[in-house]
Amino acid sequence: MTTHCCGSLGLGSGLGALILLSGCTTTAPVSENAPPFEARVEIEETAFRCPEYTITNNGSGMFWGSGSAQLVRIGDRPFASAFEHVPGCAPLNNARWALYERGPNGWRVCQRDDKDRTREPSPLGVSRSGRLLMSVNPTLAPWIDAIPDPKTGKIPRQGGAARPEFLEFDSTNPERNPSHLIPSWSGEPTFTDHSYRAFAADGENGEFILFQKVGYTHTEWAFLDKEMQWKTAQLAWPKGEDPKYSVWPGDRTPVNYANVVLSNRQVYYIGQSPYNIWDRIDPLDTETWGRGKWGWRMRKLHCAWTPDIAAVPFREWTVIDDTMADGGTIGMGDSWLAPDGRLHLVWQKTPIHPGLRDTHFPDIKRDWHLCYGVLKDGEVLEKRVLLSGGETTGPLYPSGYIGHPRLHITPDHTLFVLCNLMGLTPEAKLRSGTYAMRIAADGTVSVPVRVPLEHPIKSTFFTATPRAGNRLTEAADLLISDTIDAKRVARYVRIRFRPPCSPTVSITGPGFLLPGQGREIRLQAEVSDPQGDVSSIRWRLPDGSAQDGTSLKWLAPPSVGENVTVVAEATDKDGNTGRSARSLSLPPPELADADGLVSVEAEVLADEGGGKARVCHPVNVANASISYWHMSLGHWLAWDLDIPAAGEYELWMRYTTGCTGTRRSLLIDGKLPGPTFADIAIPTTGGWCTDRDQWAYMRLGPALELTAGKHRMRMTNLADGLGVDAFILRPNP
Ligand SMILES: [Ca+2]
Ligand SMILES: [Ca+2]
């Protein structure tokens, strides 16, 4: 265990020490457990709603332009560029921008585009003097009503030409109409609604640059200098793969979703390019490649650099990193050009598609890597892997893709890497969440410190990055893509990094109780504090009551249900608090203390047909569960029941499902035990227990009359997915 946690490749001190924090067996001194800094969440709120992807249905979305920024800050006011649906308009150009500002009373819309339509979100840039610019790309194509075609029944889809502009808002009066700044292009570039653009600002000098793709050959760029003069030119894409196999037509490969840095006329353009054919692919073996079969395929991280955008052409493209050896994918995270001319960047490497690996490349191991590098004058000075996880590198892996992880840089030039870690095992899943690592000026990297967000970051997010001209700030501003109550939202979060002073709390004890184990919760709070000045520990319980002390012993009343969360909060003498929450799964009162229960583990199958279920290890499972039971209708699973004595038994199931239309039928010994078992509707539990406990119990029908001895139970898929931990038979008294 010690080697597994603490000695894996390329981790540095990072992940090993993180696991150490969580109780991995080790001989290291306890003092190393103290976190190196604190990430305090000052604000966590919904900023605004975003349209569902299915409503705009144009291939884009609020967080699609993740290489640029849609969050900026001018003084104490954050601004965000939202992405809205234009009602009644057919895709593709059925979206518009809306400018939001966070004032003393929270987020409010300053104005929205009431004239033009577009396909993509509109990124922002600012200057230190308070200039607020937005890159827009209004369509020139005519409006088409979103009315289904009478013949096909489908809503028409049409794109077309577009006209890139910069809008300049009056940041002191953001309701005022913006002025339109139109680049003076050389020639007549054929811009479309598929801009794949990158927008960046040099905040110090008040200069701005836009890169916008044209066709499959190049990107046009437009630089607006501080004298409001334009310079425009082209950047040709790097050489790609053989056009016979390439993702896009031609012999060049576009570099998409790029990070652009502009500072004192120096420009970096860094992004990922797609390749179908990697080192071990024989192009003739078409079974092994193609997005339709094996998913997204960004494989090379390309960099173009010029020391002076106004005077010197871009140097030849370089490849910073790639996944050509193992069929993984690569995604640019974030970058920052320090005043000493060193460009810091973070990126993510994601392993090969699991199905492709299993079917064609069984020797390739699936591991995730969070990478960090330093460039100067366009050249790579160093590259390191900061965190790894996966089949050979441990159960907690860095997740994320393009636009993830992100950097936050404080005014003293300390870098923080904001990332998400996800657990692969039930134990590691409890440590899934958002983390920050600190990179000091000498390059040393801290252990990951958990950022106590109520909703950990799941996918893409923006920061008020210096790439958009923002000043360096102590606190980090984040705009996060999320789903709350099944609705898409942009969440705003502010995080401040500070020296450790608050208590740290961790909870030990069982994460769940099973049928027959009762409903009494016994947990321990383990508390530490950098100053050792903890003055109280309080448990907050789901029925609104509280208990004080390090030990909790609490009988959960039936009113709190089967999924409960308890919180342990420690307070020190200065009023600093630290808290930890534990979600527990409890048996329903009917099964809590019942005698003579017969439990059948769902993962112990007696037989199966019509498909192949998989054994899974989600959060709070007893041993394991089965899932992947949704693909084929008629896919059936069978279990043996060993009944100790003849009698009536209620049949219960401990299950999880994120689906809303799950249905199953059930036979005992080849016969329907009653009419209700022909079609059992199974309510959603809200998810699959991937990162939190979403188990539920259900009684499957009226009590069954069973004889003593073996019986064969068979359950068949009628619709949708279902994960099952166990079946429980409760003898009727
Ligand atoms: Ca303290
Ligand atoms: Ca089980």
Please give the distance, rounded to the nearest whole angstrom, from the Cα atom of residue 653 to the centre of ligand 2: 11
> 361 and 466, same structural domain?
yes
Q: If residue 1 lies in a helix (H) or strand (E), which one and from where to where? A: none
Task: For residues 169 and 279, state if they share a domain.
Answer: yes
Distance CA 179, CA 636 (A): 64
Ligand 1: centre distance to CA 500 (Å): 8
- Judgement on whether residues 193 and 332 belong to the same structural domain of the protein: yes
What is the extent of the structural domain holding 518? 503-589
- Give the distance (Å) from ligand 2 centre to CA of residue 619: 11
For residue 504, give the ligand nearest its CA.
Answer: 1
For residue 5, being part of any structural domain is answered with no
Q: Which residues are found with C-beta within 5 Å of the ion, ligand 1?
A: 501, 529, 531, 533, 572
Give whole-number Cα distances, 227 to 84, 221, 395, 574, in Å: 33, 18, 54, 52
Confidence (pLDDT) at 515: 96
Say which ligand is closest to the CA of 574: 1
Nearest residue to 133 (alpha-carbon basis) of 158, 98, 162, 168:
168
Using alpha carbons, select from 714, 712, 699, 596 the residue that is nearest to residue 645: 596
Do the Cβ atoms of 643 and 707 come closer than 8 Å? yes
Instruction: Among 544, 563, 589, identify where a domain stops.
Output: 589
Q: What is the DSSP letter of 472?
A: P
- Nearest ligand to the CA atom of 620: 2
Which ligand sits closest to the CA of 529? 1
- Measured from the alpha carbon of residue 573, the closest ligand is 1
Instruction: Give pLDDT < 70 ranges for the chain.
Output: 1-34
Same domain, 584 and 625: no
How many other C-beta atoms can be found within 10 angstroms of the C-beta atom of residue 349?
Answer: 23
Which ligand lies nearest to the CA atom of residue 601 in the structure?
2
CA–CA distances in Å: residue 575 to residues 450, 567, 572: 20, 17, 5
Q: How far is the CA of 505 from the centre of ligand 1 (A)?
A: 12
Q: Ligand 2 mean position to 622 CA, how many Å?
A: 4
Three-state secondary-structure class, residue 20 = helix
DSSP label of 19: H
Select from 559, 589, 619 the last residue of a domain. Answer: 589
pLDDT confidence of residue 400: 84
On whether residue 324 sits in a domain, the answer given is yes
Q: CA distances (Å), 533 to each of 432, 530, 572, in order? A: 29, 8, 5
Same-domain status, 84 and 103: yes
Write out the H or E segment, with its range, that includes residue 387: strand 379-390
Sequence-distant (6+) residues with CB within 8 A of 498 are 37, 38, 40
User: Ligand 2 mean position to 502 CA, how many Å?
Assistant: 39
Is 99:107 a contact under the CB 8 Å cutoff?
A: no
Q: Separation of 516 CA from ligand 2 center, angstroms?
A: 15
Q: Is the dihedral of CA 503, 427, 689, 421 positive or negative?
A: positive
Q: What is the CA(551)–ligand 1 centre distance, in A?
A: 21
- How high is the pLDDT of residue 30? 33
What is the full DSSP assignment across 427-463?
Answer: HHHTT-EEEEEEE-TTS-BPPPEE---SS---S-EEE
Strand partners, 706: 647
Q: What global pTM score does this model have?
A: 0.78
**Is 322 in contact with 330 (CB distance < 8 Å)?**
yes
3-state secondary structure 69-129: CCEEEECCEEEEEEEEECCCECCECCEEEEEEEEECCEEEEEEECCCCCECCCCCEEECCC
CATH number at residue 599: 2.60.120.260
Torsion angles phi and psi, residue 19, rounded to 5: -65, -35
| The two structure tokens encoding residue 121 | 């979100």
Residue 19 Cα to ligand 1 midpoint, Å, equals 23
Q: Are residues 523 and 488 in the same domain?
A: no
- Among the bound ligands, the one closest to the CA of 723: 2
Q: Do both 585 and 655 map to the same domain?
A: no
User: Edge-to-edge strand order for the sheet containing 256-263?
Assistant: 256-263, 266-274, 298-306, 318-322
User: Of the residues 589, 618, 643, which one is the last residue of a structural domain?
Assistant: 589
What pLDDT, on a 0 to 100 scale, did the predictor assign at position 33? 58
pLDDT of residue 692: 79
| Closest ligand by atom to 577 CA | 1
Span from the CA of 503 to the centroid of ligand 1 (angstroms): 6
- Tell how far the Cα of 555 is from the centroid of ligand 2, in angstroms: 25
The bound ligand whose nearest atom lies closest to the alpha carbon of 535 is 1
Q: Output DSSP code: residue 678.
A: G
